[in-house]
Amino acid sequence: MAAAPADTSGLVLALPGSESGARDFAAELGWPCEPVRRHGFPDGESRLTLPVEMPARVVLFSSLHDPDAKLIALMLAAATARELGAHELILVAPYLCYMRQDIAFEPGQAVSQRIVGRFLAGLFDAVYTVDPHLHRVHLLSQAVPVARAVALTAAPEIGRFVLAQGMRPLILGPDEESLPWVRAAAQQGGLPHAVCRKLRLGDRAVEIELPQGVAMHGRAVVLVDDIASTGHTLARCAALALGAGAASVDVAVTHALFAGDALEVIRAAGVHRIWSTDAIPHETNRIRIAPILAEALRGA
């Protein structure tokens, strides 16, 4: 891949579906933002159109939820940006898809993290994302082998947002894996924090144990995690906390996938408020991530 040019200014290209986030990000950088226009053909194929005037440094901005169609658009846009003169091509993907499966659990399974990571590395000089859902692989560069693979966290922003609500709650994580996010959010105001213990029995079946020795009675609790998908884990944690006497339970997550009836499941468990970052556009968005993404890119 080509080295970065000396000029640090550039252009943000907004992939379809990510226009709002791209404009916010570009405004933080002070860069222009242009849409990548898509025409859909009756057979399901796409035609993308990019601006003809392309600077040396270009960011493609796309949050990669609902990824199967978006990855094709990303491939077409990246190749076209190169042809039009982009020297350094950067992917900013607030949500990065296909990061969960890092091994084959059964013979013949595709290790999607490795495959998609190499695909992205073949298109871009750098990748920036927020709270990627990594398990056995701990560094983004191991999953996406580019020169600059930057994984940021929204947890401090979540912590500051919670404090701005006039609360000093217990920050609670749904499982041991959530500890880094819980700790980082709690550190913003010296808040107490703890994590539950989770045993997953299937895609929608989990067993949860509240942390031992942590009093819930009469306390406000905020459940913090990197991602909310089916909502069942968060719902179970909320129900247990309320059953143990918590005065209230709210939820704050980075990635608002909320598949199917997830919101209804969480609310039915007694959760009061649900907040998310705008990494994935959703009705629960309250916390901007453009500032942390722009700060990271400016510092590169």
Using DSSP bridges, classify how beta strands 88-93 and 126-130 pair: parallel, antiparallel or unpaired: parallel
- Whether 198 sits among the annotated catalytic residues: the reply is yes
Find, among 99, 26, 98, 38, the residue nearest to 67 by Cα: 98
Q: How far apart are CA 262 and CA 225, in angstroms?
A: 15
In degrees, rounded to 5, the angle at the alpha carbon of residue 268 between the alpha carbons of residues 267 and 271 is 40
Provide φ and ψ at 298, rounded to 5°: -60, -35
Question: If you ran DSSP here, which 8-state letter would residue 177 be given?
Answer: G
Q: Answer whether 182's CB lies under 8 Å from 158's CB.
A: no
Question: If you ran DSSP here, which 8-state letter would residue 3 be given?
Answer: P
Provide φ and ψ at 25, rounded to 5°: -65, -45
Which candidate in 133, 198, 232, 255 is catalytic? 198
Structure tokens of 185?
A: 């959010």
Question: If you ran DSSP here, which 8-state letter would residue 122 be given?
Answer: T
Cβ neighbours around 236 below 10 Å, total? 20
Q: Which residues are catalytic?
A: 198
